[in-house]
Structure 1
Amino acid sequence: MSIINITKNNFDSEVLKSDGVVILDFWATWCGPCRTLGPILESFSNKNSNVKVGKVNVDEESELAGKFEIMSIPTLIIFKNGEPINKSVGLVSESKIAELIK
């Protein structure tokens, strides 16, 4: 499954009204660890077609970043059936991402 760009306009339909697991990656273009995490998430997404992965650019979507009190990036927030169930701050491995969604 390809990674979706999440904005305030599609947040409700892609995340809150989504059945199953959604991983949101809060990131920015200038953030080194965020750029490192990108290919890790891409690989995870390709291997886990049942999990939706979305990216939120904190510079473009400050309202969403504020709503979830994002203080450091990258931050991953795991949603299940529209509810946040887990959170991870900083660069993580693919195996750690798999642990987060359990």
Structure 2
Amino acid sequence: MELTQDDFESTIKNNDIVIIDFWASWCAPCRAFAPTFEAAAESHPDIVFAKVNTEEQQGLAASFQIRSIPTLMIFREQVILFAQPGMLSAGQLEEVIGKVREIDMAQVHEDVRRQQAEQASGDA
């Protein structure tokens, strides 16, 4: 799935887990990582695997401060749980996916709420 500025937000909101590969066609490591990313997508049909072409979607890349590609970013329940530049091996990608699945999202959401409340009280 190719993500654009137009469908990015709805994709994140409407899916439990979204794994995004920020890439560009001129990037050799990006092209080398593509088969690993595609194989993982086939192995995990319950997860949305999406790609953002940083050349075509410069606004999206800028909003996430993508400085190096490929960069892999994983959202679960609209929270970024993983963001890392560089290629992952198939084993590393599977390990990250497993850890993302294991995270207690109720605790994560509570932590986010607490941090937002602290920031709001600090800004007042």
TM-score, length of structure 1 as denominator length: 0.91
> Which protein is richer in helix relative to its size?
2
Partner of 1:10: 7
Partner of 1:23: 19
CA contact (8 A) 1:23 1:52 kept: yes
What do the CA deviations read for 1:9-44 (whole angstroms, capped 9, x no partner)? Answer: 0001112x1332110000000000000111111100
- The within-5 A match list for 1:1-102 is 4-15=1-12, 17-101=13-97, 102=99
> Which protein is richer in strand relative to its size?
1
CA contact (8 A) 1:78 1:100 kept: no
Could you tell me which runs of 5 or more consecutive residues in structure 1 were left unpaired when the two chains were aligned: none
**Percent identity (aligned):** 38
**Amino acid in the other structure paired with 2:55:** D
Higher relative contact order (CA 8 A, sep 6+): 1
Shift >6 Å, 4+ stretches: none
Could you say which structure has the larger radius of gyration?
Answer: 2
